Structure 1
Amino acid sequence: MINLVPGKSLLKFDSQLPLYNWLYPMKGQDLDTVTHGELFTSVDTAYVRGRSLYFHIPFCDTICTFCTLNRGIGHTGDEAVEAYVQALVKEVAIKARHASVTALPITAIFFGGGSPSILTAGQIRRIGQAIHTHFDMSQLREFCFEVEVKSVTEEKCAAMRDIGVNKVRFGCQSFDPTYRRLFNITASVEQTYAAVEMFSRYFEWTSLDMIYGMHGQSFEQFSSDIEQAMALGTGTMELYPITNIVTQAPLHHGYAAKGLQPLSFTHKMAMTIYLNQYLRASGWQQHNGHGFLRLPEGHVREPQFISRAYTNIYNEYCWAYHDLDLIGFGSSAISQVDRFTVMNDENRVSYTKRLLEEDDFRINVSVADDLPWARGLVLRLPYFGFVEKSLIPWEHIPAEMVDKLGRLVDEGLLEEDEKEYRVTELGWIWYVDMMYYLSPADDQRILDEFVELKDRTRGITDGDRRTLPLTPIGGGGTAGAPACGTGCGSAARPPARVLQGAV
């Protein structure tokens, strides 16, 4: 359980949540027997204002040790990849039979993984053709494609551009040779620079992911990573403090072999504050919880702490208002429509086999008590930095949540006027804890249980999450994990509901 600490202090919560991204709502009733046909025939989309699509490509040339997303080894030209592409195209056609899936124009598309860039140019074009055939693309604003730099070619970039991709995003994670080896990153720094130059000739936006707060990382090493990341010349960067509890044990064995100790969360918070000041002084500005925008030369910084000039549009559909939804395609892909959270078959082999042989695929469905009316306050406000009050259905928002918003304003984490709530610079430091704090008690309990479960993973080491030494800690919690003060008793929700992105 994480608690707000009132008073004039930088340390506004008594511990820090070791998770950064998750879905809302977490709580729901499992519907084990519902088929995709029954579901998409019955969902109500009359209230939906916008929609995005997600495509999961679960293959990588090499497996990074910081990543536990659904992926396996696969290379360009492999038969298994080709079979998966055929299954994915079939899923698009099958879902497109339902008016609830195709009725709305698409605003954003994201290809994630895995490493979607292991696809051949021809496979990219075939998936793109299926999308254009079945969906209204007239209002598409962002089409983002995750890539791994050593698997990208000019031919693949041309195919991506031709199907409408206007943004590529790649993981660099660190330039430090020690951490690159620990992460099992096999692309060279030279390949990274060459890829960024190639991307600039094909796409409007290029973004890179970086991780910080690794065991033993010094501020000098962090500074070097920041400088080299900026020197790549990308328009945006996403920089994440590492989520130790969802990394792989071999990474931690590597730390131990080198005598690298985990950093406390207070130390990582100091790195976050340092990062903010470093990038602001270098001509950058935050555009969401993790993201930074390179400001044009001579540009006057916007008055708001979080930029309004740019945002990751796709992310708005994961951490957004209640009336923006998401349709996912591929093994383990998640959809959030109406009151339902839907996960496709997590097993890539059975997902592919059933689609190719039976024109069918399994789904796991959870249904919430009601529409996610409060999503804009719980997720969007802390992550994107503001919400428009006119877009919040206040008649459906619990009084307790409104009271919490007031307390966050009183503590200087939020500010408000008649039109919106905004995150302050102090609030940005604590945006993850604010997401937790604003969540309903049932969702908090699920997150607590998930963290408690992951803390029992053998071989994973994490730093002290308490905000020491200023806040006293009540009984029950250990140095490595906050106490669960919400009567933990039910089983945790499936880990797939916690979305870690690049961390």
Structure 2
Amino acid sequence: MINLMPGKTLMKFDRQLPFYNWLYPMKGQELDTVTHDEFHSGMRTEGVRSRALYFHIPFCDTICTFCTLNRGLGSTGDEQIETYVQALLKEIALKGRYAEATSIPIRAIFFGGGTPTTLTAGQITRIGQAVRDHFDLSQLQEFTFEAEVKSVTEEKCAAMRDIGVDKVRFGLQSFDPLYRELFNITATIEQEYAAVELFKRYFEHTSFDMIYGMHGQTFEQFSRDIEYATSLGTPTMELYPISNVVTQAPLHRSYEARGLKPLSFIDKMAMTIYLNQYMRASGFQQHNGHGYVRLPQGQRPTTPFISRDYLNLYNTHTWSYHDDELIGLGNSAISQVANYTVMNDENRVTYVKNLLENDDVKINITVGDGIPYERGVILHLPYFGWLDKSRIAWEHIPGELTDKLALLVSEGMLEEDEKEFRITELGWVWYANMMYYLSPASDQKVLDEFTALKRRTKGLTDGDDRMLPLLPMASAR
């Protein structure tokens, strides 16, 4: 349980969350009696503003120790990848039979994993053509493809560009040789730089991910990482505090072998505050909870605090309003439509077998208590930094939630006018805690239980998540 601590202090909550994003809503009843056909033929289209597509490619040349996403070893040209592509093409065609799933124009597409660039150029072309054959892309505004620099070639970049990709994002994570070794990152720094130059020739936009707050990391090491990152010249970058509770035990064994101790959550919060000042001084401004956009030469950071000149459109379908929906394809891919959260078969072998032999997909459905009209308040506001009041059906929003908003305004974490709520710089430090605080008790309970379960995992180590209660000077005498 995490509690708000009112008062004139930086420490607005008594603990920090050990992770930084999740799905909403998380509550519901597991249903194993609804088939793929029953669900997709019953999807609604009324009241839907837009949809995005997510494609999961669950193969990696090497397995990074900080990652626990659904993936396995696989390299370009492997037969198992071709078999998976055949199954994925079947799923695209299967969903294409349902007007309810395909009639809403697609606004954003994201290929994630795993490593989508383990696909061959020909496989990329075939999947891209199938997507165009079965979905309405007349309003497509963003097409993102995740990459790992070792598996990138000119031929693959050309294929990606030809199917409409305009944004490439890759995982750099750290420039520090120690942490690259601990993370099992096998690409060289020279390959990272070369990939950026290659991407610039083919795509409008390039971004990359960085992690900080690792066991034993010093501010000197952190500063060096930031400086190298800003020198890459990409328009944006994403910098995340590491979530130790969802990393792998081998990483923690390596920490222990080198005598690296976990940082406290106060240390990691100090790094986050330092990062924002460093990035501003380097010509960047924040555009969401952990993303930074490079400002034009000579332009200073704007007010309000979060930039609105750049937006990851795909993220607006994962952490946004109730009427922006997501359809996932591939094993373990998640869809969020209306009050349903749907996960495709998590087992790659049975996912492929069912599609190739039975033309079907096993799905797991969680149903919420109703349309999550409050999702924009709980996710979009803290993560993106503002909330358009006109997008919220306030008559469906519980009074408890509006009371919480009022308290966050009074505590200086939000500000409000007639048209919108906006996050303040103080509020941004606590954006993940704010998402937790705004969530109903049932979702908080799920998050609490998930955290407790992960912290019981053998071999994982994490820092103290307690925030020091700083007292006013008069009370401290």
Same fold (TM over 0.5): yes
Is the 1:45–1:338 Cα contact (8 Å) retained in structure 2? no
Corresponding residue for residue 411 of structure 2: 411
Is the 1:207–1:237 Cα contact (8 Å) retained in structure 2? yes
User: Secondary structure of 1:161's match?
Assistant: helix
Is the 1:293–1:310 Cα contact (8 Å) retained in structure 2? yes
Instruction: Indicate how the Cα distance of structure 1 residues 417 and 469 shifts in structure 2: closer, same or farther if over 3 A, else same.
Output: closer
Q: How does 1:18-417 map to 2 (within 5 A)?
A: 18-417=18-417
Q: CA–CA distance in 1 between the matches of 2:435 and 2:10?
A: 18
Q: CA–CA distance in 2 between the matches of 1:295 and 1:363?
A: 43
| C-alpha displacement of 1:470 | 2.9
Is the 2:196–2:232 Cα contact (8 Å) retained in structure 1? yes
Deviations 1:61-115 (A, max 9, x none): 0000000000000000000000000100100000110111101110000000000
Q: CA–CA distance in 1 between the matches of 2:282 and 2:338?
A: 43
User: Secondary structure of 1:427's match?
Assistant: helix
| C-alpha displacement of 1:30 | 1.1
User: Secondary structure of 1:201's match?
Assistant: helix
**1:425 correspondence with 2:425:** yes
Identity of paired residues, percent? 71
Corresponding residue for residue 5 of structure 1: 5
Is the 1:373–1:396 Cα contact (8 Å) retained in structure 2? yes
| C-alpha displacement of 1:301 | 2.7
Is the 2:43–2:101 Cα contact (8 Å) retained in structure 1? no
Task: Give the residue type in structure 2 aligned to 1:192.
Answer: E
Is the 1:332–1:345 Cα contact (8 Å) retained in structure 2? yes
| C-alpha displacement of 1:378 | 0.3
Q: CA–CA distance in 2 between the matches of 1:161 and 1:92?
A: 20
Task: Give the residue type in structure 1 aligned to 2:51.
Answer: R
Is the 1:173–1:209 Cα contact (8 Å) retained in structure 2? yes
Deviations 1:402-429 (A, max 9, x none): 0000000000000000000000000000
Task: Give the residue type in structure 1 aligned to 2:147.
Answer: V
Corresponding residue for residue 449 of structure 2: 449
Is the 1:64–1:183 Cα contact (8 Å) retained in structure 2? yes
User: Secondary structure of 1:92's match?
Assistant: helix
Q: CA–CA distance in 2 between the matches of 1:452 and 1:374?
A: 26
| C-alpha displacement of 1:298 | 1.8
Q: CA–CA distance in 2 between the matches of 1:455 and 1:389?
A: 38
Q: CA–CA distance in 1 between the matches of 2:201 and 2:457?
A: 44
Number of residues of Structure 1 aligned to a counterpart in Structure 2: 471
| C-alpha displacement of 1:382 | 0.1
Task: Give the residue type in structure 1 aligned to 2:141.
Answer: R
Is the 1:67–1:246 Cα contact (8 Å) retained in structure 2? yes
Is the 2:335–2:343 Cα contact (8 Å) retained in structure 1? yes
Q: CA–CA distance in 1 between the matches of 2:259 and 2:297?
A: 43
| C-alpha displacement of 1:254 | 0.2
Task: Give the residue type in structure 2 aligned to 1:296.
Answer: P
User: Secondary structure of 1:54's match?
Assistant: strand
Corresponding residue for residue 475 of structure 1: none
Task: Give the residue type in structure 2 aligned to 1:65.
Answer: T
| C-alpha displacement of 1:256 | 0.1
Is the 2:51–2:107 Cα contact (8 Å) retained in structure 1? yes
Task: Give the residue type in structure 2 aligned to 1:212.
Answer: Y
Deviations 1:258-308 (A, max 9, x none): 000000000000000000000001110000001000001022432111110
Task: Give the residue type in structure 2 aligned to 1:377.
Answer: V
Q: CA–CA distance in 2 between the matches of 1:166 and 1:280?
A: 26
Q: CA–CA distance in 2 between the matches of 1:451 and 1:301?
A: 36
Unmatched segments (≥5 aa) in structure 2: 472-477
Q: CA–CA distance in 2 between the matches of 1:416 and 1:269?
A: 25
Task: Give the residue type in structure 1 aligned to 2:127.
Answer: I
Task: Give the residue type in structure 2 aligned to 1:340.
Answer: Y
| C-alpha displacement of 1:138 | 1.1
Is the 1:319–1:376 Cα contact (8 Å) retained in structure 2? yes
User: Secondary structure of 2:331's match?
Assistant: coil
| C-alpha displacement of 1:468 | 2.1
Is the 2:9–2:470 Cα contact (8 Å) retained in structure 1? no
Q: CA–CA distance in 2 between the matches of 1:44 and 1:135?
A: 16
Corresponding residue for residue 475 of structure 2: none
Q: CA–CA distance in 2 between the matches of 1:43 and 1:224?
A: 49
CA RMSD in angstroms comes to 0.7
Q: CA–CA distance in 1 between the matches of 2:293 and 2:11?
A: 27
Q: CA–CA distance in 2 between the matches of 1:201 and 1:447?
A: 43
Is the 1:57–1:112 Cα contact (8 Å) retained in structure 2? yes
Deviations 1:347-403 (A, max 9, x none): 001101111111111000011110011000000000000010000000000000000
User: Secondary structure of 2:110's match?
Assistant: strand
Deviations 1:425-448 (A, max 9, x none): 000000000000000000000000
Q: CA–CA distance in 2 between the matches of 1:274 and 1:175?
A: 18
Is the 2:280–2:301 Cα contact (8 Å) retained in structure 1? no
Task: Give the residue type in structure 2 aligned to 1:448.
Answer: D
| C-alpha displacement of 1:469 | 5.2
Task: Give the residue type in structure 2 aligned to 1:33.
Answer: T
Unmatched segments (≥5 aa) in structure 1: 472-503
Is the 1:334–1:341 Cα contact (8 Å) retained in structure 2? yes
Task: Give the residue type in structure 2 aligned to 1:339.
Answer: N
Is the 1:266–1:465 Cα contact (8 Å) retained in structure 2? yes
Corresponding residue for residue 494 of structure 1: none
Corresponding residue for residue 482 of structure 1: none
Q: CA–CA distance in 2 between the matches of 1:73 and 1:444?
A: 35
Is the 2:161–2:202 Cα contact (8 Å) retained in structure 1? yes
Task: Give the residue type in structure 2 aligned to 1:455.
Answer: R
Q: CA–CA distance in 1 between the matches of 2:100 and 2:442?
A: 30
User: Secondary structure of 1:209's match?
Assistant: strand
Q: CA–CA distance in 1 between the matches of 2:40 and 2:212?
A: 41
Q: CA–CA distance in 2 between the matches of 1:3 and 1:299?
A: 39
User: Secondary structure of 2:353's match?
Assistant: helix
4+ residue runs over 6 A deviation: none
| C-alpha displacement of 1:453 | 0.4
Task: Give the residue type in structure 2 aligned to 1:383.
Answer: Y
User: Secondary structure of 1:346's match?
Assistant: coil
Task: Give the residue type in structure 2 aligned to 1:130.
Answer: A
Is the 1:91–1:329 Cα contact (8 Å) retained in structure 2? yes
User: Secondary structure of 2:202's match?
Assistant: coil
Provide the TM-score with structure 1 as the length reference: 0.93
Q: CA–CA distance in 2 between the matches of 1:15 and 1:307?
A: 28
Deviations 1:181-223 (A, max 9, x none): 0000000000000000000001111001000000000000000
